Chain A
Amino acid sequence: MIKVENLTKRYDRNVAVNDISFEVGKGQIVGFLGPNGAGKTTTMRILTCFMPPTAGTAKVAGYDVLEQPLEVKRRIGYLPEAPPLYPEMEVREYLTFVGRLKGIANADLPRRVKEVSERCAISDVSKKLISKLSKGYRQRVGLAQAILHNPDVLILDEPTAGLDPKQIHETRQLIRSLAGEHTIILSTHILPEVEQTCDHVIIISRGRIVAQDTVENLTSRLRGQEAVLVEVAGADAESIRGALSAVAGVARITLRDSRNGLHSFEVESSPGQNVRAALARKVVESGWSLHELRSIAMSLEEVFLELTASEKAEGGKQ
């Protein structure tokens, strides 16, 4: 549905998006994840034909954003980071205006506005001025505006930014319910959002894609190499480290903390190996005392931090 090839966007000397390529299939929900300023909004703006790319191509439903922008725009619903609302309009009036702009036939317009208002739970404010609406309602009106013409592709730039937890939950539910009929790209820098709403993740950092996979694969790939926290007392840190790193299956060992003769280590094992039993045995055999032994699962959060940390950005995990 969406095909992006070697896309680059430069502002003066600043490279906002650097040679990225990805594809999104029909009906998928893809999360665009990255720290602020990573190039998420720029990519979305190129896909919605708001701005042209410096190099590379982007196609939506087979139409090129540079060559057939009108065809692309007909098939895209876009919710920018700040919902594009006219404060002096009433909600229904606004949606009617957007509907006309999107080319919905006059005969279908009232029905469509009604349907979408119900779906986005804004029917109760349809006669209210947009300037009087709360942030949550504004966001939902923005979303209603994006799905009004029933587009094939929905592009949502940080749809939950600035909402309270209940509204965030509702918005995510709404987005999930839109999957299937629409192909959705949403950007966020909130990780649980991706875990909860998306099928695929594209992690982007400093204008480059650093990882791109399904949510399960990405988390399990890193859960495979389990990390274990061990707290040991009874010897100096160096000799304990030496003994533990000799245990089979240990990939990396780092001293986390050392206090009152109590040393805690983070031990990373090679994928598929469970080293907890072997570690415990080793500590006991050496005559030291074992204070704590627990596994630390790597959440998407850590994956994300690891992938986007600046010194690792170049190598990437891809």
Chain B
Amino acid sequence: MRNIWTICRKELKSYFASPIAYLLLAMFATIFGFFFWNAVGYFVNVSMQSTMFGRSFPMDVNEMIIRPLLMNTSVVGLFLIPLISMRLFAEEKRQGTIELLMTSPVRDLEIILGKWLAALILYACLLAISLADLGFLFAYGKPDWRPMLVGYAGLLLQAGGLLAIGTFISTTTRNQIIAGAVTFGACLMLWVFEWVAGYETATWATVMGYMSVVRHFEPFSKGVIDSKDAVYFLSLIFFGLFLTSRSLESLRWRA
């Protein structure tokens, strides 16, 4: 446990000692800020129309602002996650510090969990920025905080799964750019798999639909926790970390 925390702290320190963490935070703040401004603008517009024409639409802040924002964040995450995970092992391999880690009395699993956890914490920091924007909704309205909480839990689960895949990909190369690009490709594929399920009904299309990250995230954005979605993300995490540990093991044999 102490070893996991040692690695995790060192990893967080590396993120925040280099520009990467600040760059990601700034990028996310800008993008999310735009989405927020856009969503609120639309909401205000619709409510104006609603009063002008005397028709009363059901105006729900959760449904009209928070849910689309969470969906957007989920997609933005697909782009940012490769940037977070790409350096995890690739950098250690390039610097040769992997030799220090692998000859220290710590288990491979502790190294992996420490690094993955650090990446997840950085992602959680990104999400924390979005709370600042959403705070305004609570200041001027009365949205329900419970579905929002579920949505954030879903975002973290999704990031956990994709970061685990990214961590695995990072062990396969010493080049951060390659690790990032491949992870990006993998994230993108996991996103667009769903499209097939839209028109094709064969078994393989259904399976591809099941593998889609977005489809499993959607219920979370509505505030619905379905065990099937939670299990999907948890198994993605497990699968990614399992592959990582296999890959480290084979690194020892090939080295």
The reply to whether B17 and A84 form a contact with Cβ atoms under 8 Å apart is no
Q: Are B95 and A97 in contact (CB under 8 A)?
A: no
Name the one of B6, B14, B98 contacting A88, with C-beta atoms under 8 angstroms.
Answer: B14
- Chain B interface, number of residues (Cβ within 8 angstroms): 27
Contact A97 B6 (CB under 8 A): yes
Contacts of A45 in B (CB 8 A): 99, 255
User: Is the CB–CB distance between A50 and B252 below 8 Å?
Assistant: yes
Check A51 against B255 for contact (C-beta < 8 Å): yes
Q: How far is the CB of A247 from chain B (nearest CB, A)?
A: 56
Residues of B within 8 A of A86 (CB): 10, 14, 95, 97
In the complex, number of A-B residue pairs with CB atoms less than 8 Å apart: 70
Residues 1-37 of B contacting A (Cβ, < 8 Å) = 2-3, 6-7, 9-10, 13-14, 17-18
- Looking at B3, B100, B101, the one whose CB has the most chain A CB atoms below 10 A away is B100
Contact with A along B225-237 (1 / 0, CB 8 A): 0000000000000
Q: Is B96 an interface residue (CB 8 A)?
A: yes
Interchain CA distance A93-B14 in the complex, whole Å: 12
Nearest opposing residue in chain A for B255, CB measure: A51
**Given known A84-B97, A89-B17, contact A49–B107 (CB-CB < 8 A):** no
List residues of chain B with CB within 8 A of the CB of A88: 13-14, 17-18
Q: Which residue of B13, B96, B252 is within 8 Å of A82 (Cβ)?
A: B96
Contact B18 A98 (CB under 8 A): no
* Chain B residues, Cβ within 8 Å of A203: none
Question: In this assembly, does A31 line the interface, its C-beta being within 8 Å of a C-beta of chain B?
Answer: no
User: How far apart are the CA atoms of A27 and B123 in the complex, in Å?
Assistant: 49
Given contacts A50-B99, A100-B6, contact A73 B105 (CB under 8 A): yes
Least CB distance from A279 to B in Å reads 55
Q: B100's contact among A49, A70, A84, A100, by CB below 8 Å, is which?
A: A84
Contact check, A51 vs B252: say whether CB atoms are below 8 A apart: yes
Task: Say yes or no for B203: interface residue by CB 8 A criterion.
Answer: no
Given A51-B253, A101-B100, 9 more pairs with CB closer than 8 A: A45-B99, A52-B253, A73-B105, A74-B105, A78-B100, A84-B97, A84-B100, A85-B97, A145-B100
The 6 A-B residue pairs with the shortest CB-CB distance in the complex, in nearest-first order: A84-B100, A73-B105, A88-B17, A84-B97, A100-B6, A48-B103
- Give me the interface of B with A, judged by CB distance under 8 Å: 2-3, 6-7, 9-10, 13-14, 17-18, 95-107, 252-255
Can you list 22 A-B pairs, Cβ within 8 angstroms, ordered by A? Answer: A45-B255, A49-B102, A49-B103, A50-B99, A51-B255, A52-B252, A52-B253, A73-B104, A76-B103, A78-B100, A84-B95, A84-B100, A85-B97, A86-B10, A86-B14, A88-B14, A89-B17, A97-B10, A98-B100, A100-B6, A101-B100, A101-B106
